[in-house]
Amino acid sequence: MTVSFQLNGKAVALDVDPDMPLLWAIREKAGLTGTKFGCGIASCGACTVHVDGVAMRSCTTPVSSVEGMKVTTIEGIEGKAADAVQASWQKLNVVQCGYCQSGQIMSAVALLTQNAKPSDADINDAMSGNICRCATYHRIRAAIHDASRTMEG
């Protein structure tokens, strides 16, 4: 079956099994490897992408469910929130091993796009499904607050 959708702003038509997880369609068929496989059960957040602007776990999302939609991966993320988050991640040295970071960044950008001034509780809620085995949670929260302040000015 051919599934057609926008991937990082470009029209794609992938010949895939409609039940193939979006993650594998992105990585294996489209060749974009920034989105990571972590758990395969939508619990860790490493596979987070945006579908029509909403953060979603691509490891359990059938590719057929995004037919005609806009999918954005870490390779295609852009805009004020994305720029602020990426700059804050670097400024505050958030990353240790880095494996979870594409999913963390995608979730943080989705949060700041919806809520430009999140509280600690808002950040906890938005980021609770993103696991960091290096436990850089305090730096992630600090970077989200920093990105929020950057977006103000």
Structure token digits, residue 63: 């590719």
Both 20 and 43 in a single domain?
Answer: yes
The per-residue pLDDT for range 31-85, each reduced to its tens digit, is 999 999 999 999 999 999 999 999 999 999 999 999 999 999 999 999 999 999 9
pLDDT at site 152: 85
Q: Which of 39, 72, 105 is the last residue of a domain?
A: 72
CA dist., res. 106 & res. 50, Å (int) = 7
Q: Which of 72, 93, 126 is the last residue of a domain?
A: 72
Both 58 and 103 in a single domain?
Answer: no
pTM of the model: 0.96
Q: Number of structural domains, the chain?
A: 2
Both 61 and 85 in a single domain?
Answer: no
Both 111 and 64 in a single domain?
Answer: no
Burial classification of residue 19, based on how many CB atoms lie within 10 Å of its CB (0-12 exposed, 13-18 middle, 19 or more buried) = exposed
The per-residue pLDDT for range 112-150, each reduced to its tens digit, is 999 999 999 999 999 999 999 999 999 999 999 999 999
Give the Cβ contact number of residue 5 at 10 Å.
22
Both 16 and 66 in a single domain?
Answer: yes
The per-residue pLDDT for range 34-47, each reduced to its tens digit, is 999 999 999 999 99
Q: Domain residues for 30?
A: 2-72
Both 62 and 8 in a single domain?
Answer: yes
Both 91 and 38 in a single domain?
Answer: no
CATH number of domain containing 116: 1.10.150.120
